[in-house]
A and B are shown apart, each in its own frame.
Chain A
Amino acid sequence: MNFFTRKRSASSAKERLQLVLIHDRTDLTLEEMEALKDDLLKTIARHIEIDPEAIQIGLEKDGREQRLVADIPLRGAARRRAG
């Protein structure tokens, strides 16, 4: 790898650790996380109209606390407002 083009290793270390720590702390593997997201989507879709493509569900870190954060735009409501 070229000295000038290589990404400095400290940033890879930090990015990789960020992911690993979230999963260590929550005891959730990436696969389990995907399954959880699928289940959440299915449940929500039974009650309201949603656009599966626009949905974002993920783990976020706040200090030492982990949060499951979901951002779910409501398709029906948006359309109604737009008239």
Chain B
Amino acid sequence: MTAQVITVTSGKGGVGKTTAVANLANALAMDGKRVVCIDGDIGLRNLDVVMGLENRIVYDLVDVIEGRCKLKQAMIRDKRYPELYLIPAAQTRDKNAVSPSDMVRICNDLRADSDFVIIDSPAGIERGFRNSIAAADRVLVVTNPEVSAVRDADRVVGILEAEEKGSPALILNRLNPALVRNNDMLSAEDVLDLLGIQLIGIVPEDETVIIGSNRGAPVAADGKSRAGQAFRNIAKRLQGQDVPFMDLEPQSGLWSAIQKITGRK
């Protein structure tokens, strides 16, 4: 095995990076992959609660780097799956506790016996972001269909290109199809045209995401959640499968049939 190291980043905070990491990791683990997530947001640990693993933390990333434990000891296993692990972020205030070369070393150690290493990057373009992209084979940029998020995503894409990290793929999160239909939200086409990068998935605005976070149970495992479906599709694309993009119109079936009959659209 030799893992693909995937970093999820965004520029702007609060757009759904941690949500995406937790859900992609769950979806990949459901597909039988061996997955290790790393919370790269030093000082603002979050991925543990979103994944529902917060009560099991003993060691963290900085403990590994500073030699207080072995890498394996900092890997918390998610017992719902055979092979899903989290390396939590430290809650230290020292932002310099981690360097890009530390991340490269840890990821290289993980590569040998995993399929995917997924890194949750902090917002911004500072040290934590640099650490998070250092080992990446592939970068996913998350944005929302909203001016400030798109602008910040563009900055990050520019930096990734300058660092020769290759062109990242876009996750457009929290798209509201009704607003797009009314022309009051940027569409996926608009955002792709503005950013000029490839699309890997569109995740609808979906309240099940918040319910899932509340419970520490990412919605990728919920067969009825539309956002969960979107994340499962992205996970398939990461495995090289060609999955068509979902139809995001919420009222499929009866309602759209009525609209067709009455000529409304």
Interface residues of A (CB under 8 A from B): 8-11, 13-14, 16-18, 20-21, 24-25, 61, 63-64
Contact = CB atoms under 8 A, between A and B. Distances in A.
Contacts of B186: 10, 13-14, 17
Given A10-B190, A24-B155, A17 B150 contact: yes
Interface of B: 146-147, 150-151, 154-155, 157-158, 161, 167, 180, 182-187, 190, 193-197
B161 A64 contact: yes
Given A13-B147, A18-B194, A8 B154 contact: no
Contacts of A11: 183
A10 B183 contact: yes
Nearest to B151: A20
A9 B150 CA distance: 15
A13 B184 CA distance: 9
Given A10-B184, A20-B151, 19 more contacts: A8-B183, A8-B184, A10-B180, A10-B183, A10-B186, A10-B187, A11-B183, A14-B186, A14-B190, A16-B147, A17-B186, A17-B194, A21-B151, A24-B151, A24-B158, A61-B196, A64-B157, A64-B158, A64-B167
Contacts of A24: 151, 154-155, 158
19 contacts: A10-B180, A10-B185, A10-B186, A10-B187, A10-B190, A11-B183, A13-B146, A13-B147, A16-B147, A17-B147, A17-B186, A21-B151, A24-B151, A24-B155, A25-B158, A61-B196, A63-B196, A64-B157, A64-B197
A67 to B, nearest CB: 13
